[in-house]
A and B are shown apart, each in its own frame.
Chain A
Amino acid sequence: MRSPTHFRCLLLILAAVAFSSTSSVAQSPSAAPYAAIDRNAVNYNGPGRDAGHDLAGAEIRIGLLAPLSGSLQAEGDALRRAAQMAIDEINGSSPLGLSGGNHLSLVARDESGPWGQASKQVVQMVFDDRAVALITSSDGGTAHLAEQVGNKIGVPVLTLSTDTTTTEINLPWIFRMGTTDTAQAQAFARDIFQIRKFKRVVLLNQDDRDGRIGGDEFAKAAREMSTPAPIRIVVEPGNLPEETGMKELETAQAIVIWTDAAAANLLTARLRNSLPTVPVYLCHKAAESDPGNNGQLPCPTCVSQDGNRWIASAAESPEAWRAFRQRYQKLYGAEPGLGAAEAYDAVRILAATLRQSGPNRARLRDALAGISGFPGASGVISFDRAGNDTSPVVLLKIR
């Protein structure tokens, strides 16, 4: 006959086993992932840094891919003007000073139309124009197209897109100016749900790739804060009826707009009249407009109109912004937007790094990966080796 002691021991062992398995199950959700991309280990391990791969000629070309026709032409033109202004300033007052006597020039090509159009332009800039680097607009799809070609051929890409995924691929060739969709969404959500304690929030997102991705990021940020899901209204800019979402908007405590600038201009004009006191949070792309052309969206430090709109951006660099804005206004008679400031910064960053690298795409990539604390008109810019702008994101009130 077995003794009760044995039975008690058996129970004890079973209990211990059950406890240990429960513990491991409880711990599993917070367990670290199996592997993670090390942003600081991203590197280009190919050839091309030798002088034999330098681009020939006294002229160093920078490619700009922007919407130069269609509904976003105003934004595209602003990017082109700002980039050209930067190039003229550099060539005029502080030339690159490279041994070949190199001077900069801008090659701007139109990304408008179906996605195929942009990729063809990228290839032409790389092969026909021999651009040393590409700057792409805030369109996420265009950024990926440039990245795909840049990755095959070996061409640095600076993008104004906030698409988080552009720099999450372990690729060494792309550098993202400004903040990500994810960081913007989290900054908005913190302010709306945690600081202001709002519950009824309306999200207006455009029916395109960037609108969907950005909208998803905001919905995700709200979910992570265990708040009620925002009311999501999909906006079609080409077919924006008068009544779009107005019923839902009437009870909104805050409105988040994730559209391009053209759609945002239409929406904010309506909101200004109908809901003047409700705070509006604009994604980066929505706030990049050139108000000199459309008279709607002011830049972060422009004169106050209603003082109730917010963007998430890198910390301001007021002196650089003021100087840029003054020159831009003088030259073009228009107010620059955020996108213009970023395009201006992108050219200046390329010029600064070209002074180190010379006209060589691989060496230029290496130099870009070392950019830190660059005082840009759009804010302070620092890149990690994966191409992310590591500047902290702050919420700025549009004045």
Chain B
Amino acid sequence: MGTAPLTPTTSKTWGPLRLAVPPLPLGGEGRRILNPHAGSPTYHLPSTVYRFPHFCLLVFAFCILTCSISLAAPRPHLITRWENYTIANGMPDAKVFCVTVDGPRVWAGTENGLVLIQNGKVAKVYLPADGLAHRAVMGIAVDRSTDDLWIATFGGISHFSGGHFENFTNLTSGLLNDICYGIAVVDRSVWVATTAGVSRYNTLSGEWSSWSEKNAPFHEPWAYGIAPAGNKMYFAIWGGGLLEYDVQGNYWKPYTDPDEEMEIVLFKNQGLIHIIVSNVAWNPDTRMIWASTYFGLSGYDGRNWHNYLSKDSGLASDFINAPKSRRNEVWACTDKGLSMLDYTTNTWVTYRPGKQKGQGEIEITWPDGRKQKLTTDTALAHNYILNMDFQGEDIWVATALGLSHGIRDSEKEIQLYASFTNSQRIGNNPTGRFQKGN
């Protein structure tokens, strides 16, 4: 088997294996016997003993065919190395709620402060004593026009500019509530997802606007996540599904769970999979919106819903804290690892710490449902994933036990796939299949 092409879009060379399997003879000359009761020869069915080699050959051919189907799918890129930032190397708290990449700078929100990571190390930690609104940092957004930072905390929001914090709370501003779960900056507007609804701050005029169940179709007011999408905004609402707001048109559109039952999913692609939406992400490349819930992942392309559960896909767990999406990928931050779906090929990759201390595990779920595992020398800081962001081909992952920098190394990727091919040759490849959905 040759080396794997590294670019999924050009990996068509990975076609099914062509095997020169001779046609199976039905009976054979050696077993042709004459029927004493007829004038012409007849063919008797071969005995079990005779059929056994044919059966083995059929099974072998089936296995090869299955393998070839798996390998026919383009091989996804892999994160091959992890560098972790924990309390041991300067993080102020183990739990990292969010991470935002700003060019070479990486900002992390922890349970005890805001962290700046630069040049591969913790460069600075900002605490309430420095002016931060609260120690628990839930969301970070960069204003691309000014490079200022806007920070959602459990004590209001902070505007970090020129080395100084300016705080906004519900007592000192138009912010709906101090418990803020998400934040986004679009042009001159700062959008905040609070536990009492959505607030917007105009940085030019200083004007605040707010939406909740009182003036918009919020089934519940508890906003848990936020995603800008061109001229629209999407909000993840705890108990209220996904809310779409057309900024120019000034109208709202709710997406809710059509089965209206909390503990079931009636049909696979029924619509939004669950009414409790934990977070939301917009993919500007495919123009799809992705909603994470604690009972599966939902994607909407403007026409159809695409839902995924661990039982019918390579998703590590149905408990998802946040999605993230770009190109043809959607990433799911679950409580059992970080899963990535390439939805053009329906191939999944899940990253989690391995069973051996320090080692990482990569689980690939091929389009036919076959699962195969690879081992890396380094691992995510923890399997409980809260959020992530992209930095070129690398990723940054917020976990419950530290911040992880996932690095893609082409050479290492080739080696990993080679080890995978070798393990196939010795028959150590399949680890199971997911249950096919209806």
- Please choose the segment from B119-127, B259-267, B424-432 that sits at the chain A interface, where 4 or more of its residues have CB less than 8 A away: B259-267
Tell me the complex Cα distance, A47–B311, Å: 24
Which B residue sits closest to A147, measured CB to CB? Answer: B238
Contact A45 B294 (CB under 8 A): no
Contact B437 A34 (CB under 8 A): yes
Residues of B in contact, count (CB < 8 Å): 53
Cβ–Cβ < 8 Å partners of A165 in chain B: 239, 262
Which A residue sits closest to B176, measured CB to CB? Answer: A116
Q: Which of B95, B268, B335 contacts A45 (CB 8 A)?
A: B335
Question: What number of residue pairs across chains A and B have CB atoms under 8 A from each other?
Answer: 113
Contact A45 B238 (CB under 8 A): no
Give per-residue flags for A270-306: 1 if the beta carbon is below 8 A from chain B beta carbons, else 0. Answer: 0000000000000000000000000000000000000
**A70 on the B face (CB < 8 A):** no
**A244 on the B face (CB < 8 A):** no
Tell me the complex Cα distance, A116–B178, Å: 8
Chain B's nearest CB lies how many Å from the CB of A189? Answer: 19
Given A115-B195, A123-B179, A148-B238, A169 and B276 touching (CB < 8 A)? yes
Tell me the complex Cα distance, A170–B274, Å: 11
Given A33-B265, A36-B263, A46 and B400 touching (CB < 8 A)? yes
Cβ–Cβ < 8 Å partners of B85 in chain A: none
Cβ–Cβ < 8 Å partners of B259 in chain A: 33
Which A residue sits closest to B270, measured CB to CB? Answer: A34
**A7 on the B face (CB < 8 A):** no
Cβ–Cβ < 8 Å partners of B383 in chain A: 45
Chain B: interface secondary structure? loop
Tell me the complex Cα distance, A37–B178, Å: 32
Cβ–Cβ < 8 Å partners of B176 in chain A: 116
Q: Which of A120, A144, A153 contacts B239 (CB 8 A)?
A: A144
Chain A's nearest CB lies how many Å from the CB of B341? Answer: 17
**A233 on the B face (CB < 8 A):** no
Contact B154 A123 (CB under 8 A): yes
Give chain B interface residues in 172-228, CB to chain A under 8 Å: 176-179, 181, 194-196, 220-222, 224
Give chain A interface residues in 7-59, CB to chain B under 8 Å: 33-37, 39, 44-48
Which A residue sits closest to B194, measured CB to CB? Answer: A116
Cβ–Cβ < 8 Å partners of A319 in chain B: none
Give chain B interface residues in 316-346, CB to chain A under 8 Å: 317-319, 335-336
Cβ–Cβ < 8 Å partners of B401 in chain A: 47
Tell me the complex Cα distance, A122–B309, Å: 32
**A114 on the B face (CB < 8 A):** yes
Tell me the complex Cα distance, A170–B264, Å: 11
Q: Which of A46, A123, A168 contacts B335 (CB 8 A)?
A: A46
Which A residue sits closest to B220, measured CB to CB? Answer: A144
Given contact pairs A33-B261, A44-B335, A116-B177, a sample of 14 additional A-B residue pairs in the complex whose CB atoms are under 8 Å apart:
A35-B264, A45-B319, A45-B384, A47-B401, A115-B195, A116-B176, A116-B179, A116-B195, A116-B196, A119-B179, A145-B195, A148-B224, A165-B262, A170-B318
- Provide 14 A-B residue pairs closer than 8 Å at the C-beta atoms, listed in order of the A residue: A34-B266, A35-B265, A39-B263, A45-B335, A45-B336, A46-B382, A47-B384, A114-B196, A115-B221, A119-B177, A122-B179, A123-B179, A145-B222, A165-B262
